[in-house]
Amino acid sequence: MKFTSVFDIIGPVMIGPSSSHTAGAARIGRVARDLFGRQPKWAKIHLYGSFAETYKGHGTDVALVGGLLDYDTDDERIKTAFEEAEKAGLAYTFIPETAHMEHPNTTRIVMGDDEGEMSVVGISIGGGKIEISEVNDFKLHLTGGLPTILVVHDDRAGCIANVANCLAMHNVNIGHMEVSRIERGLTALMVIEVDQNIDDRIIEQISYIPNIIKVSRMNT
């Protein structure tokens, strides 16, 4: 087994008890919030497999809510996330599911506010590491370890090149990129991991590109 860093062995700095069920859950919630782009007003949290069976005893519930409140894995406020959510006006519901998922530590967070909603599927793969496997029914692979831009666009020729050219103009290097679409010729999604945090000016310029529907980002 190959480890890329000491943190793969000892796990993250975290509020316990479990790196998979607590730290991983907090990271999923926080990445979901970042992808949504703001504090949601409500969240329906579907739990699968081991998450559904042990979410109360392992602190998965408070960790997910803490992540949605933008708390990191070592934030002491995770312990009182339910009370903090009430103060912040975040309503939440946990829905244990019996359906089988590819990974036992899986959650689907459906969140929203008066402006819209988003669905995010996250997996805790161990040691506090996570993977986002789906956003609004688009399949993808996102670890949350690098700054990321999500671009929803019409499935038209030239969209990918135009976005890449815009990033190149600002000397932003692309580390990894995926493109997903639900049906040919309709709507598609670009997931672009880059080497630096992205400011508002670049996001605004991408949003002005023809056939671009929505742009969001996740800085680290």
| Fold that domain 148-218 belongs to in CATH | Alpha-Beta Plaits (3.30.70)
pLDDT for the residue 18: 53
Delimit the domains of the chain by residue range. Answer: 12-136, 148-218
DSSP string, 44-88: EEEEEEHHHHHTTTTTHHHHHHHHHTT--TT-GGGGGHHHHHHHH
pLDDT one digit per residue (tens) for the chain, 220 residues: 344 443 443 344 444 445 556 889 999 999 999 889 899 999 999 999 989 998 888 889 999 999 999 998 888 899 899 999 999 999 999 999 988 777 788 999 999 999 999 999 999 987 778 999 999 989 888 877 789 999 999 999 999 999 999 999 999 999 999 998 888 889 999 999 999 999 999 999 999 999 999 998 888 7
**What's the CA gap between 119 and 32, in Å, rounded?**
8
Contact indicator for 97, 47 with CB cutoff of 8 Å = yes
Is 12-136 a domain of CATH 2.40.10.340?
no
First vs last C-alpha separation in the chain: 27
Q: What is the predicted pLDDT for the residue at 211?
A: 95
Q: What is residue 177's DSSP assignment?
A: E
d(CA 217, CA 151): 9
- How far apart are alpha carbons 121 and 111 in whole angstroms? 11
The pTM is what? Answer: 0.81
